[in-house]
Amino acid sequence: MRTELRVLDPSVWDDWYGKLVLAFGGVPEAPEESALWRELTECERSIGAWDGADIVGTAGLFSFRLSVPGGAIVPAAGVTMVSVQATHRRRGVLRSMMRRQLDDIRAAGDEPLAVLTASEPDIYGRFGYGAATQNAYAEIDTTRARLTVPEGTDDVRLRTVPPESAVEACEAVYARRVSARPGMLERRAGWERLSLLDPPGDREGASPLRCVLAESGGEVTGYARFAVKPDWDLAGPKGTVILRDLEALDPASYAALWRLLFEIDLTSVIRTGSRPVDDPWQHLVSDIRRCAVRLRDSLYVRLVDVGAALERRTYATPVDAVLEVTDPFCPWNEGRWRLSGDTKGASCERTQDAPDLRLGVRELGAAYLGGVSLTALAGAGRVQETRQGALTEAATAFASPVAPWLPHGF
């Protein structure tokens, strides 16, 4: 059998997306969810693998802008909706789609990075994607962990509003947060609706989505979106607060929103969605052991153009190092690159000078957002130091003062 890759025609989106759903278990989505993904799909950047009249593989790209260390916002291709039908596995379909995507991104020349979230992490390393961020999840026992809030928290006004009516205010807060943390995505038109998806069939006994705004000095300074799932036993109420997302512009607003979640009547647990691994609430609680924090890999980064990507971010301390990069899947990146940079900017050009570090493009992707240490990768044998001191210099320069974080999937 031979498969043919074709750009997605909008007229066959239903069939194409249906094959994606089938590959992920075949459980139908709520109509409002599939309608949103149809609207967000960039058909001109999506492909299908066809075997005769049948779609047997799917893959798409979103045109994102991603925050990187130093606060710059960099164009990045968001790899999405990747699937291969069970009848066509291990026949090179996935590889051909990955090859086509990276070739197309390079040919366009606008995006030095490709990013994705992986349903199966083992798949994408061979295509040069490195795990660059982690998300933290928690189940906080609010009957055992107390909250201590900073000065000024009592001055913050909290107001409950319908989620749909607060979108503009929430998006304004989110937009101001993007450049402050690597890994966050600028929200293009339509993406604000992703946080509002709340199909009744997906609530599993929880309430409809709620929204609370924090206000200080006459402006909105934060928001929390959450639901409440009631529960009772013989000892009384033990409901759960399900936190969807929370952003704030200052410590007082942040603490006021968390205190609200802790004090919701008839509940004893807060279950968070994805949060940064260095989320400050962990320093407000009295007993972190009562919070059951766990981590999971999140955003995978792939440098499509090594030189351009390394030039687009800044570095925490001065660095001047020759990186010898291996990249068998995208051989245009192979070779030696001299990276020179600091907090003001960087240059990265090809060189014939002796290497200071040897590493693969996968390791560069993992370290790119500053959340994975080059020293840790060297400890695993995935980075080799050839000039004494170069590893410490580069690892310190690549680091971010805040943990990178992807706030939502795609």
Residue of 62, 223, 398, 410 marked catalytic: 410
Rounded to whole angstroms, what are the CA distances from 333 to 265, 324, 369?
57, 10, 19
Q: Is 241 annotated as a binding residue?
A: no
**Do 296 and 163 contact (CB within 8 A), yes or no?**
no
Amino acid of residue 189: A
CATH 3.40.630.30 segments of the chain: 4-111, 147-284
CATH number of 4-111: 3.40.630.30
Predicted pLDDT at 236: 87
Predicted pLDDT at 188: 94
Chunked in runs of 10, what are the mean pLDDT values of the chain (410 residues)? 92 98 96 97 98 97 98 98 96 97 98 97 95 98 97 98 98 98 97 96 96 97 98 92 98 98 98 98 98 98 98 98 98 98 98 98 98 98 98 98 97
Contacts of 26 (CB under 8 A, 6+ apart): none
Is-catalytic flag, 410?
yes
Q: Is 406 annotated as a binding residue?
A: no
Q: Is 90 annotated as a binding residue?
A: yes
Q: Is 91 annotated as a binding residue?
A: yes
CATH number of 147-284: 3.40.630.30
Q: Is 120 annotated as a binding residue?
A: yes
CATH topology of domain 308-398: Nonspecific Lipid-transfer Protein; Chain A (3.30.1050)
Query: How many beta carbons lie within 10 A of that of residue 302, not counting itself?
Result: 32
Is-catalytic flag, 124?
yes
Angle between helices 13-23 and 31-40 (to 10 degrees): 120
Predicted pLDDT at 345: 98
Predicted pLDDT at 203: 96
Q: Is 94 annotated as a binding residue?
A: yes
Predicted pLDDT at 235: 86
CATH 3.30.1050.10 segments of the chain: 308-398
Q: Please state the pTM of the whole predicted model.
A: 0.97
Buried b (16+ CB within 10 A) or exposed e, 47-76: bbbbbeeebbbbbbbbebbbbbbbeebbbb
Predicted pLDDT at 1: 60
| 162-165 contacts at long range (C-beta below 8 A, 24 or more positions apart) | 162/211, 163/196, 163/198, 163/209, 163/210, 163/211, 163/225, 164/196
Q: Is 373 annotated as a binding residue?
A: no
Residue of 124, 300, 315, 398 marked catalytic: 124
How far from each other are the two terminal CA atoms of the chain, in whole angstroms? Answer: 31
Q: How far apart are CA 247 and CA 54, in angstroms?
A: 44
Task: Annotate the chain with three-state secondary structure.
Answer: CCCEEEECCHHHHHHHHHHHHHHCCCCCCCHHHHHHHHHHCCHHHCEEEEECCEEEEEEEEEEEEEECCCCCEEEEEEEEEEEECHHHCCCCHHHHHHHHHHHHHHHHCCCCEEEEECCCCCCHHHHCCEECCEEEECEEECCCCCECCCCCHHHCEEEEECHHHHHHHHHHHHHHHHHHCCCCECCCCCHHHHHHCCCHHHCCCCCCCEEEEEEECCEEEEEEEEEEECCEECCEECEEEEEEEEEECCHHHHHHHHHHHHCCCCEEEEEECCECCCCHHHHCECCHHHHCCEEEECEEEEECCHHHHHHCCCCCCCEEEEEEEECCCCHHHCEEEEEEEECCEEEEEECCCCCCEEEEHHHHHHHCCCCCCHHHHHHCCCEEECCCCHHHHHHHHHCCCCCCCCCCCC
Q: Is 83 annotated as a binding residue?
A: yes
Q: Is 82 annotated as a binding residue?
A: yes
Q: Looking up tokens 């959450």, which residue turns up?
A: 226
**Do 301 and 365 contact (CB within 8 A), yes or no?**
yes
